Structure formats: structure tokens, C-alpha cells
Chain A
Amino acid sequence: MKIVIVTLLFLFSLIGGLFSQVAVIAHKSVPVDEIKKTELLDFYSGDIKKWSDGSNVIVKDLKPKGDVKRIFYKFLGKTPSRMKSIWLKSMLSGEGDPPEAMKSEEEMLQKIAATPGAIGFLSHTKVNNNVKTLIVIGKK
């Protein structure tokens, strides 16, 4: 019986993972309506620090480890530890600070909605009209 339950839980988690969708969201003031993977990586790696209108890009990270974070960084082609290493290099070289890490997806949503130039990510199901969705990662 235990084996059946464990197998079912494993399958549900796999299916859950397959159906998870992550939305990349930004403050409504940002001058774009969509974003490419390479641009997103440039923002998160700190290579590009300004939007096309000259306003500052304020990148937000998610603290809890989980599917949302895993899917987002897999999309960028970097592991979370690789990204942390890039941010640490940037910080220790005086080139920029690591992004602020949000404690929850709810905090992410509130901060992005309240901070001009901010960009972050969370589960697609949690997006509301207070932010702009730039891209949705993962298939339905």
C-alpha cells in the first residue's frame, strides 16, 4: 500500500511539475510588453541595468526553493547556485548588488506592483492586474 501511495505522490509531483507555469512579471511602468530569454538573462546577470527608456531595472529573486524558482532558472539556462556566483562576483567587484530575495510569491507580487522598473517571477496562477506579464514559462 505504501509503495502505491509513494508512486502516486511521485506521479502527481511529476504532473504538477509539468503543468507548473511561471510568469515573468514587471511593474506596469516598464516600457516593454514582452521579453526574450536573452534579455531576461542580461537583466538577471547584471549585464544590462536599464530599460530602453533609461529607467533602472530592479531585479527581484525568490527566496524559497521550489518548482517556481527551478523552472525560472532552468529557462535562463543557469542553476540557482551559478546565478548566486554571478551575483557574488558582481558584488565583490563593486559592479552591483545581488537582487533582493522575496520571502514569498505574495511579497514578490506586492513589491513588483509597488516598485517602478521592477521585474520578478512567480506562479502564473498568482498574477493579478497590478503587474504586467512579460512572458509565461512552461506549457499548460
Chain B
Amino acid sequence: MCFLYLVAGEDNQIPFFRIIKMTLKRTLILCFLLLAIASAGAQSEENPLRIFGYFQNSLQQWTAFQERPKQNSFSLQQLNLLFQKDLGPSWTAFVNFEFLNNFSSSRQWGSFNLEEAWVKYRASMRFNLKLGLLVPIFNNLHEIKNRTPLLPYIIRPLAYETSFSEFILIEVLTPVRAFAQAYGFFPAGEAKFDYAVYVGNSPNISNDPSRGQTGVDTTATFLFGGRLGLRYGDLKLGLSATYDKDNSAEDLADALKIARPELSAIPKIRFGGDLSYNFANFSFESEFIKVSLEKDAPKLERNLDFYYATLGYHFTEALFLYGSYWLLDSHAALPALPNEIKEEENDDIKVVTFGASYNMLDRVRLKVQFARIRLDEEELQLQPEMMVRRTEDDFSVFALAISVTF
């Protein structure tokens, strides 16, 4: 008898035929689910989800500078996991996760970022639309700054060196994300005219949970930007610009004993220019970026200028040699009330670097780089009396790396 009843309780006995019925019902539901999964699998065979990515491991030796002693370190500089799926003839979805500097959450090393998550609609070469979290088109190198397998550098030109974001204002120098972008090109004979326009958040992103949702823009302003470019054979050039309003100086208001709104919504303008050209086995690329935040009454200025130029030579199909010069110049003038200290800061970072990269396989690239870096820092105290403090330092970085696409 005990085989014919499922005893859930002494007063709650289920007859055998009900068990069979329930089992059949569950089996049918399971079969249906399996069929649905199999059907989805069959569909995904037509447009499979592609998972791929790349990483760069490096060994870097930094000579001593300021109060930091000489150091050697291996590092998984960057690992990117990419997911791509074609959703239809003209639709593509793309997700990019980025791990930086030996990322480990338990050890509090590095960082893990959702860099991109967008869907693209390609109407024609003249019009593409990306919606979602995306890296907007700015200068030439900005487009591929995080694609380490494409770059000969181990340490990238400073405005693009993501692993230095803890001490270089990368997010001020370049627009790191937008949420809608239209782009394409118009052919005219052998020339192509590129365009891109985008909109995104201004940099006033909340990371304070007590104010509500984090990761969102806390103001009613937007980032607007775009690039116009020309491609003609091996020549590529372009001009880029962005505009947004920045609230980051608001925190100064309390210290300066002025109302916060007086230092809010400061217009920030970025200009960029890029030029690259390949001739015979030589390649040349250069860029500039100018960022300016300015406000009158109270007077506040923050200007960042970045330049780089690289001359390279393809010694063979696999071996590329280059020399490059980078300059990052920053100027900041803070507002001050009468009879209080007023300061200006001028900082320069100059880098001369040489390197080589060698493609061992199509997807394995070895790199070597030497960089000589000079830091010049100048602090001017303008009130109550003029004082100048200058510090200068030189140091070198030698690096080896392997960059792998998988």
C-alpha cells in the first residue's frame, strides 16, 4: 500500500494515479522546455554568440622617482572579454568587460569595468547607429586605445593609458563613454569623409548611495560631441570636439566658503585633432587634445593639453620599430576670497619613448619599450605674497609584454 500512496502527512495521502498524472505533466513541461532550449540553440547556431577577447601581460621596471623606490613588477595590465551576437541582418549586440592591473576583488587590486554594452544598427555605410554604453569616436587613437593587440605600445600615450587612471585625469582628457552615436562615411572619388555625432552623460556621475541611484548623472546636462574626418589612401585626419558641464569643483566651494552653485555647471570644452599617414614602410601618427574648464566670478581655470607624435618603421612584415614623444601639460588656477591664499599649479609630463613589437603569430604579439619620463611641477602662490615652488624629477621605465588575442 505504501507504494500506491505518496505520504505527505498522515491525513494527506495522494493516490498512485495522481502521481503518474503529475509525473507525466512535469515530463511534458520538461520536454517542452528542452524543445524550446533546443530551438533557441538551433537559432543560435545561425547567429551564434561569439565570445573572444585579449590580454596583455607585462614586466615593467621603474627607476626611483620622488619618494618611490625602484621597482620591478609583473602585471596582467589588461584583460578584455568581448561578447558579440548578430541579432539580424543589420543589428549587432556587443559587450566588453575590462579587467585592469591584476584585478582581484578579494585583494582590492586593479579594477573591473563594464566598458561597452551596445546594440548597433547598420543602415548603410553612410549611417550607423549605436545605442547603449559605448566608447565615443574622438581622435584616431581613442577609437582603439583599449585594444592592446592593435597597439605597438606597452605604455600607451598618456591620455590613453587606462592603467594610469589612478593618477592621470584620463576621464577629463577624453570622453570615455556616450550612450547614443550616429556615424558613417560619405565617399567622394577615392576620398572618404567620416562623421560621428554622439550624446552621453556629463561627468557628474553619482557614486554616493546616500543620494540615491549611483552611476547616473545627477544634473540635467549632457555631453555632446563629434568628429569630422577625411581618409584618402593611407592618409587619415580628423577634428573632434565635445561639450559638457562639470560639477567637480563644487567640493571646493565649502573650503572656499562660497555657495556651491557658484562652482557648479562649469562649461568644459575638448578639442582634438589627429593625423596619421603611411608611406612605404614608414608610419606616422600624431594627435592633440585641449581641454578647458573656465569660469569667471569666482575665477576658476583648468586647462589640459596633450600632444603625441609617433614615427614607426615596418622593418619586416612582423617587426615594427618606433619612437614617440608625448607631452601632457596641465594648468589649474583655483578661486580665492580676498586675503586668502590663491594658488596656481602648472604640471608637465614629458615622455620620450622607443620600442618594438613583433608578431610571433597572427594573434600573439611581443613588445618591448623604453621610456624616459620627466616631471615638472610648479606651484605659484599669488596671495598674500608671491611664492614659487618647483620640483623636477626624471625616471625611466623599461617594459616587456606579450599581447594575446583569443
Contact = CB atoms under 8 A, between A and B. Distances in A.
Given A89-B144, A89-B147, A94-B92, 13 more contacts: A38-B190, A42-B187, A47-B192, A48-B125, A49-B122, A49-B125, A79-B314, A82-B278, A92-B82, A92-B144, A92-B149, A93-B144, A93-B147
Interface of B is mostly: strand
Nearest to A94: B94
Size category of the binding interface on chain A: 20 to 34
B54 A92 contact: yes
Contacts of B92: 94
14 contacts: A38-B190, A47-B125, A49-B125, A77-B234, A81-B318, A89-B147, A89-B150, A91-B52, A92-B149, A92-B405, A93-B147, A94-B82, A94-B118, A94-B120
Nearest to B52: A91
A49 B120 CA distance: 15
Contacts of B88: none
Contacts of A48: 125
A89 B151 CA distance: 10
A88 B150 contact: yes
Interface in A73-92: 77, 79-82, 84-85, 88-89, 91-92
Contact of A92 (B147, B192, B317): B147
Going nearest first, the 9 A-B pairs with the smallest beta carbon separation are A94-B94, A81-B317, A92-B147, A94-B84, A89-B150, A48-B125, A38-B190, A84-B362, A89-B144
A50 interface: yes
A53 to B, nearest CB: 13
A79 B54 contact: no
A7 interface: no
Interface string A32-52: 000000100010000111100
Given A85-B150, A88-B149, A50 B405 contact: no
A56 interface: yes
B359 interface: yes
A92 to B, nearest CB: 5
A50 B125 CA distance: 9
A77 B233 contact: yes
B143 interface: yes
Contacts of A47: 125, 185, 192
B85 to A, nearest CB: 10
B317 A79 contact: yes
A107 B278 CA distance: 34
Interface in B121-166: 122, 124-125, 143-144, 147, 149-150
